[in-house]
Structure 1
Amino acid sequence: MKDFKKYVEFLLGIFIMSFGAVLASKTNVGVAPWDAINFGLSKTFGIMSTGRWIIFCSLIALIIAAFIEKKFIKITSFITSIIIGLFIDFWIYVLNPLVINGVLSKYLIFVVALVIVSIGLSIYLFPNLPAYPIDHLMVVFKNKFNLKIMHAKLLMDGICVIVALLFKGPVGIGTISFALLMGPGINLWQSILGKYLKKFIS
């Protein structure tokens, strides 16, 4: 039962996080660096949905991580990316009719989306189940090049922004906000929700 509750918490976090990510994309203010790549690929090539690009790019990230570590691909992390990809496509379908007009409305809704993503991430990460492939790759970079986690994250975000720009992804001030504020946001919400999340899975 305890393991079942962990998976419920894990899936709930991904569900909330995916909603926030798609809501942010509707504002045209910018999305998280990794998301910008996948939204850009979907827009540029149009041969797959954003969710399917997430799954494909996650596989590439895991192959790179496995090559650096000289280990087998982390299949469990790939399963996580499949779940995220499916939820992203679900929310894109649900929110497709949503049109946000006006600069003030766009920025207000973006802030709400940023908060929603940080809440979702704090819930999804709490059970310590298999991480999203890009997070795993970040840890691999940290260990391989003896970096601090903050520097590894900045390196990954920088690479993602460059790739996203190449594929005309939705990079903007919101992308910088995600890169700078997501870590503190996760810490904040885990400190607020931690005792309830722990109680739920205990």
Structure 2
Amino acid sequence: MEKLKRYAVFLIGLFINSLGVSLITKADLGTSPISSIPYVLSLNFPLTLGQFTIAFSLLLILIQLAILRRNFKAEHLLQIPISILFGYFIDLTMELLFFIHPQTYMASVIYLLIGCVILGFGVYTEVLANVAMLPGESFVRAVSSTWKTEFGSTKVAFDVSLAVIAGILSLLFARRLDGIREGTIIAALLVGFIARLFGRKLACQMLFLKFRNS
């Protein structure tokens, strides 16, 4: 029963995560680093952001298999249905946010910041559930555990690499930098901080309630 509750929390977090990604994308200032390559591809080929997200996630799982080899466990395969669901959630939330078309730069910034808060809360919720990881985070964990690097530094290097590759793909396919903008950098800097902030604030509130009721 406890495991079932954790998976329910994870699914809620996954949907919140997709909503944050979609709102950041709708802000039209770029997208989150993990979605940058799928987003650039979706701007240049007739597949949706969600569909390219699924394909990219499956690629990350295959690379994890190559990195981990014997350490690749059956539980890692849980990333496959999670990736498919996450991709469908992204397409669903992109449709739900059809009305968002910021007309000014300030409106774009506001949508971007709201999206970062939502995505940060989604990341916190997934971590709180503690049952599975999205392929992006699982890939970073595979690299850091195999080559004994610090997870946080590896995550930053991974995000930067994704943004750079997305930029190169954009220049290659569109002959201009399309889909990678300042919003990508802002999201990379803010989302992790916001997730940790939610963790600290909610943990403090839970301790306070526990103390008050004791």
Q: 2:91 aligns to what?
A: 89
Give the match's secondary structure for 1:82. Answer: helix
Give the match's secondary structure for 1:131. Answer: coil
Give, in angstroms, the shift of residue 83 of structure 1: 1.5
TM-score for the superposition, normalised by structure 2: 0.85
Give the match's secondary structure for 2:83. Answer: helix
Q: How many residues align?
A: 196
Q: 1:15 aligns to what?
A: 15
Q: 2:68 aligns to what?
A: 69
- The CA distance in 1 between the partners of 2:45 and 2:30, in whole Å, is 19
Asked if 2 retains the 8 angstrom alpha-carbon contact of 1:41 and 1:53, the reply is yes
- What is the Cα-based RMSD across aligned positions, in Å? 1.8
Asked if 1 retains the 8 angstrom alpha-carbon contact of 2:83 and 2:134, the reply is yes
Q: 1:141 aligns to what?
A: 143
1:174 aligns with 2:180: no
Give the match's secondary structure for 1:126. Answer: helix
- The CA distance in 2 between the partners of 1:59 and 1:157, in whole Å, is 17
Structure 2 gap segments, 5+ residues each: 171-177, 210-214
Q: Aligned partner of 2:16: which letter? A: I
Give, in angstroms, the shift of residue 136 of structure 1: 0.8
Give, in angstroms, the shift of residue 38 of structure 1: 0.9
Q: Aligned partner of 2:191: which letter? A: M
The higher radius of gyration belongs to: 2
Asked if 1 retains the 8 angstrom alpha-carbon contact of 2:25 and 2:32, the reply is no
1:101 aligns with 2:80: no
- The CA distance in 1 between the partners of 2:106 and 2:158, in whole Å, is 30
Q: 2:156 aligns to what?
A: 154
Q: 1:110 aligns to what?
A: 112
Asked if 1 retains the 8 angstrom alpha-carbon contact of 2:126 and 2:133, the reply is no
What is the correspondence of 1:18-57 to structure 2 with a 5 Å cutoff? 18-46=18-46, 48-57=47-56
Asked if 2 retains the 8 angstrom alpha-carbon contact of 1:78 and 1:132, the reply is no
Q: 2:212 aligns to what?
A: none
TM-score for the superposition, normalised by structure 1: 0.89
